[in-house]
Amino acid sequence: MSRLFVVGVIGFLAAGCGSPAVTAPTPRATPSVMAAPPAPAAVPGAWNITMQTLSDSGPSFCINQPTVGSTFHATYGLVFGGDAVEFVPPDPIDWDSFTASISGVNFAGSNAPVAFGPYNGMCATYAQSSSISGIFSSDRTSFTATVTWSFRLDSGQTETLTFAWSGTKQQ
């Protein structure tokens, strides 16, 4: 048990008995022992993204899919680092996330298939994968992209949905 914890508990108990509260001493750092401050974490820039469903091919199955022509809006965080960009969704459970490689103004990335099936509450057995490819404006304040979802059913058939994304960096 740490000394600071014990002093804090004694102070709390003493204060409850009408005695003056005991406070733990404030530790002082010695300059020669102080560590360098941590490097700042990458903070994602906020981007307004519009997603429109362009096509749906292959057999539909029992999961709810957006209809062709439907449009969605979300605020994503984009984190740039070296020759990659990470697309951080507002809800990592229900929205796509990607890490894409950048070459000039072009970018592309994909997510490996993830298996789903009746054993985890789904209505069918399938593997879902997704990909993104697009282009940034030269000043990196906007982009357009194509996103593809693929659902490979246990029957061997594949349903593919294609989306057009357009994004603008928030000021």
Least confident among 9-18, 98-107, 128-137, 156-165 = 9-18
- Provide the pLDDT for residue 62: 84
- Provide the pLDDT for residue 162: 98
DSSP-derived secondary structure for 23-84? -PPPP---TTTPPPPPPPPPPPEEEEEEEEEEEEES---SS--PPTT-EEEEEEEEEEETTE
Answer yes or no: is pLDDT of 44 > 80.
Answer: no
Domain ranges of the chain: 45-169
Look at phi and psi of residue 69 and say left if phi exceeds 0, alpha if psi is from -120 to 50, else beta.
left
Quote the tokens at residue 86. 């990470």
- Provide the pLDDT for residue 93: 81
- Provide the pLDDT for residue 7: 33
- Provide the pLDDT for residue 64: 84
Give tens-digit pLDDT for 101-145. 999 999 999 999 998 887 767 788 899 999 999 999 999 999 999
Give the pLDDT band of residue 32 (cuts 50, 70, 90). Answer: very low
- Provide the pLDDT for residue 15: 39
What mean pLDDT, rounded, does the chain reach? 80
Task: Tell me what the mean pLDDT of segment 40-54 comes to.
Answer: 80
123-155 as b/e: b if 16+ CB within 10 A: eeebbbbbbbebebeeeeeebebebbbbbbeee
Domain covering 45-169: architecture = Beta Barrel (2.40)
Which carries the bigger pLDDT value, residue 37 or residue 77?
77
